[in-house]
Amino acid sequence: MKDQNVNLRVEKGVAEVVEVPMPHAVGEGFVVVEQAYAGICTEQKVYATGFYEAHESPLHMGHEGCGTIVEVGPGVSGLAVGDRVIVHIGWACGECFVCQHGLTSTNCENLRVGPDMEAHNGAAPGSGGAGFNRFRLAPAINVQKIPDTLDFRYARAANCLLGSTYSIVRDFDVGPETYALVAGVGFIGHAVIANLKHRGATVIALGRNESRLEIARRLGIDATIHPDDPDWLDQLKSLTPNGRGVDTSYECSGHPDYQRKALDSLRRFGQLILMGYQREKDWTLDLDVHDDILVPARRIAGMEDLMFKHRADLLELLQDPTMQQQLDIMISGEVPLDSAEAVFTDILTKQHGKFYFTFA
Ligand SMILES: [Zn+2]
Ligand SMILES: [Zn+2]
């Protein structure tokens, strides 16, 4: 039934579609969106291990999405039923330092998540607070209207693909003179590569997964290095001017070995950007502040979301035919929600790029 709401309930070894009530936008500042796509981000880890992040429960999986507004609640302006939209992640307050400065929604000081949205709208648990729902609640502050000419197949990349990696590349002075390292080549690494190549950088990938390195090559990577090569650092330096090291390194795996190598790859005054997300692991990076940071005058930053102030520019980029070709390379497929167990199992083999759920 197309007008029936469904949710993907995920726990260790189980991913099943369950019927849930329709949510309604009765709370201030909300719309209801019928989803066209929702990206699979890290949910396969819950299927494999049963570990939930702070804001997730079996009925609150998935945080990405795009689709069509079917209901507009009180206190919403500039959005109407029938509008095609991107749903950005979380429920930002609009009032804290982060929101007022156009920074990232998921770093809002008062960030609220799926169960909060359901409570605010008097909706049943699991009925629309998450991305893996056909009909979902979305706060207007995190909904972005898109033109009719932009296919949802490209709009969906505004979440944890091109979008979550856009601001961190844009805001760190990347240009044709930049030499960058991408350590770890999962779908976030691929998206960083696409953003770096879009700005003309020379990009080196550090990785051992041949399937994913092949996607990186098709995206136009300039060189790849195997992290287990004893002379990996010499190889890397020989690719940079005067052997100085890279200007910026993007760590996209979350593993301390890659974090260490991403740090060691930097030239003096270089910057390490930490993007790898491994919340369930008890990994730490050993850091010598004097030798690793002070003496080489390096900077370390972390970020994993699109800035509010870059939403309009990202929308332009999603409509760029060259970038759309890159997205076709990065995206491995789309599957119906009831194929979740098969696609989670597939993703866990780490042979692919990004996957999306469909709700048709
Ligand atoms: Zn805020
Ligand atoms: Zn994500």
Q: Which ligand is nearest to the CA of 111?
A: 1
Q: pLDDT-based confidence at 278, cuts 50/70/90?
A: confident
- CB contact at 8 A, 164 and 41: no
Mean of pLDDT values over 309-315: 98
Q: How far is the CA of 330 from the centre of ligand 1 (A)?
A: 31
Q: Which ligand is nearest to the CA of 131?
A: 2
Predicted pLDDT at 360: 79
Q: How far is the CA of 232 from the centre of ligand 2 (A)?
A: 31
- Structural domains in the chain plus CATH codes: 5-162+307-358 (3.90.180.10), 166-302 (3.40.50.720)
Q: pLDDT-based confidence at 55, cuts 50/70/90?
A: confident
**pLDDT tens digits, residue range 24-44?**
999 999 999 999 999 999 999
Coil, strand, or helix at residue 53? coil
Coil, strand, or helix at residue 161? coil
Coil, strand, or helix at residue 17? strand
Distance (Å, rounded) from C-alpha 57 to C-alpha 9?
Answer: 9
Assess whether pLDDT exceeds 60 at residue 318: yes
Q: What percent of the chain has pLDDT over 70?
A: 99
E strand or H helix at 67, and its extent? strand 66-72
Residue length, the chain?
360
**What's the mean pLDDT when you consider all of the chain?**
96
Q: Which ligand is nearest to the CA of 91?
A: 1
Structure tokens at 205: 């990938």
Coil, strand, or helix at residue 172? coil
Distance (Å, rounded) from C-alpha 76 to C-alpha 68?
Answer: 15
Q: pLDDT-based confidence at 116, cuts 50/70/90?
A: very high
E strand or H helix at 323, and its extent? helix 321-330
Distance (Å, rounded) from C-alpha 197 to C-alpha 200?
Answer: 5
Measured CA angle at 247 (ends 257, 322), to 5 deg: 95
Predicted pLDDT at 1: 52
Q: How far is the CA of 105 from the centre of ligand 1 (A)?
A: 7
Nearest to 185 by CA among 355, 322, 356, 351: 351
Assess whether pLDDT exceeds 80 at residue 272: yes
Task: Give the pairing type, strands 30-39 and 354-358.
Answer: antiparallel
Nearest to 48 by CA among 332, 357, 343, 359: 343
Match 């005058």 to its residue by tokens.
297
**pLDDT tens digits, residue range 188-233?**
999 999 999 999 999 999 999 999 999 999 999 999 999 999 999 9
